Amino acid sequence: MAAERWEPAVFKARVDGVLRRFVAEEAELFADVDPALRPVADQLEASVADGKRLRAAFCYWGWRAVGQPDNDALVRAAASMELVHAAAVVHDDLIDDSPLRHGRPTAQIALRGAVRRRPRSVAAGRSLAMLVGDLLMGLAGQLFATSGLPAAYLARARPLWSELARDLIAGECLEILRTGAPPDTTDSLKVIRYKTAKYTVEQPLLIGGALAGAGDRIRGGFSAYGLPLGEAFQLRDDLLGLFGNPERTGKANTDDLRGHRPTALLAETWRVAGEVERQQLRALLGRRDLDAEGLRAVRELMCRLHAPDRVEEMISVRVEEALGALAGLGVPAPAASALTTLARSVTVRVS
């Protein structure tokens, strides 16, 4: 990677290489404990096989925005953000009881095969998946600590890890607590902020910046850029979850409706719906047997009430807010260019 130019595909390949090598080594050590652990070790590797590597990119550019040069040890540290994400995905799929991710069986479904002849194989598969997620989170800290960066640099960023974990788990808990409740846009946006926005954009930026020795002004700017952009990212996910192409998203369009999840899209629909329309939604939300006809009915209702248009506007407002904050930071040109490109790519996408 040239010092003054960022090529997303090249960066992704670097992060993929770090993750493949590190997780493969750890999976082998894990499987060496007992041959019966091989399916779990394989799932550990499968959990990091896919991804856009956005969180690593934001960590990297948090470092570069402070004026630090490209550095292989920093790329290793940034790759640890992807292990946090992999852990969150495994746990999120468990909480949501999702059968598919990236078009393949989720961890709890895949691991049923390891216990298919045992009593309560479904519960056992879920338990194994939970432990895979736990192990991935532990490995994230290990990769970060052994990245090769000086201990003094790592010490500057270490307090941010507890904040990241606390906010991520708080968001997951809020989503569980508000699932099935009357939809509310303010509540939904709070879930988005803590469950996704902070650990996707803001906190990787802040960690990269802390590693580089960023001052208060830069850290404040990273938050002013990262929070609205992270919210825009999840708002786009909500739209894709219901209206996207499952072949691109890798997930079923009915997941959010069957789970009656507190998305902003649903909340905006509910907010302007009349009583008859709310009755229609009540009859469909949370149904595990929701079919294509039910999905079509919800989509038509949402479009008739212009809820997707309002969510699109929420995305646009947040992207512009993020870019405005970035423009005021005065970071080096390569970082400004990359962070501008990232702001567009995380919100204008089909998967």
Sequence ranges of the domains in the chain = 8-345
Which two three-digit tokens encode residue 260? 């009656």
Tell me the C-alpha to C-alpha distance, in Å, between residue 28 and each of 19, 200, 253, 336: 14, 29, 36, 40
CA angle 116, 121, 125 (to 5 degrees): 100
Alpha helices in the chain (DSSP H): 8-32, 38-46, 54-64, 72-96, 107-110, 121-145, 151-178, 185-192, 203-212, 216-243, 246-249, 255-258, 264-272, 275-284, 292-304, 307-327, 333-345
Q: What is the DSSP letter of 101?
A: E
Helix (H) / strand (E) containing 100: strand 100-101
Identify residue 351 by its one-letter amino acid code. Answer: S
Q: How far apart are CA 208 and CA 214, in angstroms?
A: 9
Taking the model in full, what pTM does it have?
Answer: 0.94
Hey, what CATH topology would domain 8-345 get?
A: Farnesyl Diphosphate Synthase (1.10.600)
Tokens 């096989």 sit at which residue? 49
Q: How far apart are CA 308 and CA 306, in angstroms?
A: 6
Rounded to 5 degrees, φ, ψ at 101 are: -150, 130
For the chain, the straight-line distance linking the first and the last C-alpha, in angstroms and rounded, comes to: 26
Q: How far apart are CA 204 and CA 88, in angstroms?
A: 15
Q: How far apart are CA 35 and CA 177, in angstroms?
A: 39
Which two three-digit tokens encode residue 112? 């049923």
pLDDT at 168: 96
Q: What is the DSSP letter of 261?
A: -
Which two three-digit tokens encode residue 127? 């338990």
How many of the other CB atoms lie within 10 Å of CB of 3?
A: 9
Beta bridge partners, 105, equal: 100
Identify residue 208 by its one-letter amino acid code. Answer: G
pLDDT at 123: 94
The long-range contacts involving 168-175, CB below 8 angstroms and separated by at least 24 positions, are 168/84, 168/88, 168/194, 168/195, 168/198, 168/199, 170/194, 171/195, 171/196, 171/198, 172/88, 172/91, 172/92, 172/95, 175/95, 175/261, 175/262
Tokens 């405005």 sit at which residue? 324
Q: Is the Cβ–Cβ distance between 250 and 100 less than 8 Å?
A: yes
> What are the DSSP calls for 42-65, one per residue?
HHHHHTTS----HHHHHHHHHHHT
The residue length of the chain stands at 351
Q: Is the Cβ–Cβ distance between 219 and 211 less than 8 Å?
A: no
Per residue of the chain (351 residues), give pLDDT as tens. 444 677 999 999 999 999 999 999 999 999 999 999 999 999 999 999 999 999 999 999 999 999 999 999 999 999 999 999 999 999 999 998 888 888 889 999 999 988 988 888 999 999 999 999 999 999 999 999 999 999 999 999 999 999 999 999 999 999 999 998 999 999 999 999 999 999 999 999 999 999 999 999 999 999 999 999 999 999 999 999 899 888 887 777 888 898 889 999 999 999 999 999 999 999 999 888 899 999 999 999 999 999 999 999 999 999 999 999 999 999 999 999 999 999 998 888 777
pLDDT at 4: 63
Cβ burial of 351 (10 Å; 0-12, 13-18, 19+) is middle
